[in-house]
Structure 1
């Protein structure tokens, strides 16, 4: 399984990394970002920095990563503004971003790199009501792309002074999350290969957020799989959110497989009559 969970330190670089890092200040973002990019250099990946804060940090630290100018001249490092990477080409959308990063990753591979490693500060998009919902949709779709695509990894930076609801939305769709202070991340919905994984706790307050995340999940042909092995707690509202998602897919001929569902969920599912309302199958797959 991909690395996942709430972290206090940046894990070692691996393939398919997708980290959400909630940071307190620019110094923290720069330090963690350089560590993340250094891991990519060690893996032979091309590096892409996105955001004004990232560009400013590199200008102030030209010796970072062994020499910013030399890496840029060699084509190993590129720096883009937020507008250039996320809002260009007709506006911000999940489809445009996937096309943009798929092309960038494939260019990196064609140029002899092992993949593309992206460091992006997207605080401005998360705090903008115009872009926020589409950003969350993109983050979830991006996770599927990183889990199954040609070779992209990313660390997404979000400043800690964003509204609590905005941070909860973006942290919920990353497998690896660092939160500022002692803040807990209630649940995470992410991809492990083609299956979705739901881990953590989903109560009534989080059920609406789970509903939105599930609705935005890119589902390939074949029976969708939701792995619940990491689900510690879920209430009736969470069960109904899962059932609503399963029912919407069944309407398209896609019965959902629920893997490793807790015994309490399976009993409650039947008691609530959800088995008659939404077509799912339960399995104990590893």
Structure 2
């Protein structure tokens, strides 16, 4: 058996000023262990002063942003191999999480990616990124067929014709007269022009109302949107539209999938729009930022803000542009599972520019202490369960 270093204290040892809560006291609180098998350590040491570890010790001494521990392996409490994950990405981040025994040292595991794919298949408003057009069309066909089975009117919007879905759409239109429509992207979105976000939401508001008036349960749309975000200017307009239409879809009898070709756009452009959707399958996007409902919080923040979000999160803030009410910008962060110091500083700077304070409504109890530690004085926490 290869030697390993048990990482049961993880983020409690990120800075000397963070209290060490000690090892897990029982199996009930020790559901996950992270191990570095002959781990690649940089700037950290192997310690054994606090009991409760396995192997030769635990990793300590995270007192510099460059300190890392690589090649970390996750074990669930039952020890079964089907829950074993190799976490290869190095992380350089302070993190905040409610329980020390549930904190992570590194990020990017397959479990999280699998959850993304599941969520993207079930949400009302999703981003699907793809490289294989046939795979996208197969998923679109399944999604649209489910709409027909649910009594919804369906639209498929794409530039250059229906492509591989043409035959199926024709058959579906014959079987469901009035329920199936192919809409050229140029007609649905005025592709090639700068999108008017409010007018575009109006288009779908009217189409949804018409579908319901015609006796359908609602409107279901798949739109291949690659040409709408292929320049920075168009991406900015489309992101503003996504923020508005997501607010509409949240309460309307409408479901929508926005498709983006990664090979054409690149990962960064896809990520900028993916994080504005409630769900996506885009790799490397582990948080969502959306506009809050009218009369509610300014924004809804969910998922995980770690080192992978360092550049993407500020871009998302610029797209969504949460606005203050009464001197505060309230984020519904009940779905926020993880946050690091970089994200808190980004929120602090955003609040400074707006001349307001940020209020995070979250269950992550140590965010207040972490914000104070790193000087994010404009970030306050309201605890929620």
For 1:99-137, what per-residue CA distance to the aligned partner results, in whole angstroms no more than 9, with x for missing partners?
A: 111111111122222221110001122223331122222
In terms of fraction of residues, the more helix-rich structure is 1
Tell whether the 8 Å contact from 1:47 to 1:118 is kept in structure 2 after alignment.
yes
Give me the TM-score of the superposition, normalised by structure 1: 0.78
Change (3 A) 1:40 1:126: same
Matched, 1:160 2:160: no
Change (3 A) 1:132 1:38: same
Give me the TM-score of the superposition, normalised by structure 2: 0.60
Change (3 A) 1:165 1:70: same
Matched, 1:199 2:303: yes
Structure 2, unpaired ranges of 5+: 1-113
Tell whether the 8 Å contact from 1:54 to 1:120 is kept in structure 2 after alignment.
no
For 1:153-193, what per-residue CA distance to the aligned partner results, in whole angstroms no more than 9, with x for missing partners?
A: 111111131212111112211222123xxx33232224676
Distance, in Å, in 2 between the alignment partners of 1:187 and 1:219 is 16
Matched, 1:11 2:104: no
SS of the residue corresponding to residue 174 of structure 1 reads coil
In terms of fraction of residues, the more strand-rich structure is 2
Find the partner of 1:243 among 324, 333, 348: 348
Distance, in Å, in 1 between the alignment partners of 2:132 and 2:160 is 10
Structure 2 equivalent of residue 234 of structure 1: 339
Distance, in Å, in 2 between the alignment partners of 1:160 and 1:104 is 29
CA shift for structure 1 position 263: 3.2
Tell whether the 8 Å contact from 1:202 to 1:234 is kept in structure 2 after alignment.
yes
Distance, in Å, in 1 between the alignment partners of 2:304 and 2:371 is 19
Distance, in Å, in 2 between the alignment partners of 1:209 and 1:134 is 17
Tell whether the 8 Å contact from 1:249 to 1:256 is kept in structure 2 after alignment.
no
Tell whether the 8 Å contact from 2:243 to 2:320 is kept in structure 1 after alignment.
yes
Structure 2 equivalent of residue 259 of structure 1: 361
CA shift for structure 1 position 248: 5.5
Change (3 A) 1:284 1:87: same
Structure 1, unpaired ranges of 5+: none
Distance, in Å, in 1 between the alignment partners of 2:323 and 2:340 is 28
Structure showing greater Rg? 2
Matched, 1:61 2:168: yes
Distance, in Å, in 2 between the alignment partners of 1:5 and 1:147 is 21
Tell whether the 8 Å contact from 1:136 to 1:170 is kept in structure 2 after alignment.
yes
Structure 2 equivalent of residue 271 of structure 1: 373
Matched, 1:52 2:169: no
Distance, in Å, in 2 between the alignment partners of 1:91 and 1:191 is 21
SS of the residue corresponding to residue 156 of structure 1 reads strand
SS of the residue corresponding to residue 188 of structure 1 reads strand
RMSD over equivalenced CA pairs, Å = 3.1
Greater relative contact order, per chain length (Cα 8 Å cut-off, separation 6+) = 1
Distance, in Å, in 2 between the alignment partners of 1:69 and 1:29 is 23
Tell whether the 8 Å contact from 2:191 to 2:227 is kept in structure 1 after alignment.
no
Distance, in Å, in 1 between the alignment partners of 2:305 and 2:320 is 19
Tell whether the 8 Å contact from 2:324 to 2:330 is kept in structure 1 after alignment.
no
